[in-house]
């Protein structure tokens, strides 16, 4: 029987790449995002390979998130794989000059949004005693770096929530994994730098991870045998040794 995956933040970057990877292998898809036109575009592309349903909502909005997932048609209601991918960094400021709006956005999307979506999906998994939850964390959840403060805090929270989920859901046989990428070349930096030209320099001088690299790791994770769970995976590009050590070409 074909499995069904729900992916948040599916309109770009890792989420979109994962949707393509899953579609290649016939996994049914519930694709979630804020941008309806992009959802329509990806649905049109992937419907040739698998069954696709889209949900247009912002994970920051608790009521809309719960209502959207509750509205799923019967054939998409049993979610086998949840990819909590929606997340953003806003700003790169020292704590003393950080923006409260940026802080709210990061905590609301990266932490509370993940919790809202999970809350909507987990009861069905526990009832069936089956499922796999993958939370997309970050190397920033392993190591705090200069000016990372609140973003790092949000990703540390993701890892703590992941570990808590794994403990609480263990009696139900539900797998819980964290995939923690380092530098991935996506729209991420455009958001963080708010369209400033500084974003263009983030990925220059070395080969960053690509969204499809992480999508392949996610697919590998969800296709392990029933007794195998990749609980916590840290992924760097070869050029990156930790949060502040990066080998760039001269």
Active-site amino acid positions:
151
d(CA 127, CA 135): 21
First to last CA, the chain: 52
What is the H or E stretch that residue 99 is in? none
Instruction: Find out whether 15 and 85 touch, Cβ atoms under 8 Å.
Output: yes
d(CA 213, CA 185): 10
Instruction: Find out whether 17 and 185 touch, Cβ atoms under 8 Å.
Output: no
d(CA 129, CA 4): 15
69: nearest Cα among 109, 9, 119, 35: 119
Greatest extent of the chain over all pairs of C-alpha atoms, in Å:
56
């Amino acid at each position: 029987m074909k499995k069904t995956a729900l992916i948040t933040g599916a309109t770009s970057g890792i989420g979109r790449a994962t949707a393509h990877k899953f579609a290649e292998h016939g996994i049914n898809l519930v694709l979630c995002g804020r941008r309806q036109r992009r959802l329509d575009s990806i649905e049109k592309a992937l419907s040739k390979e698998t069954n696709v349903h889209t949900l247009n909502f912002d994970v920051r909005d608790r009521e809309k998130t719960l209502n959207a997932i509750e509205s799923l048609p019967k054939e998409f209601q049993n979610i086998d794989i949840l990819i909590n991918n929606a997340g953003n960094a806003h700003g790169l400021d020292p704590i003393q000059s950080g923006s409260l709006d940026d802080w709210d956005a990061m905590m609301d999307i990266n932490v509370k949004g993940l919790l809202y979506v999970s809350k909507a999906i987990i009861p069905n998994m526990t009832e069936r005693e089956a499922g796999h939850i993958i939370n997309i964390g970050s190397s920033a959840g392993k190591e705090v770096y200069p000016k990372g403060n609140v973003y790092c805090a949000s990703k540390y929270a993701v890892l703590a929530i992941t570990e808590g989920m794994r403990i609480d859901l263990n009696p139900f046989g539900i797998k819980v994994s964290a995939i923690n990428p380092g530098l991935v070349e996506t729209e991420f930096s455009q958001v963080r730098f708010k369209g400033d030209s500084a974003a263009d320099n983030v990925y220059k001088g070395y080969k960053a991870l690509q969204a499809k690299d992480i999508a392949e790791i996610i697919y590998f994770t969800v296709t392990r045998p029933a007794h195998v769970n990749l609980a916590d995976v840290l992924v760097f590009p070869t050029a990156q040794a930790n949060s502040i050590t990066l080998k760039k070409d001269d």
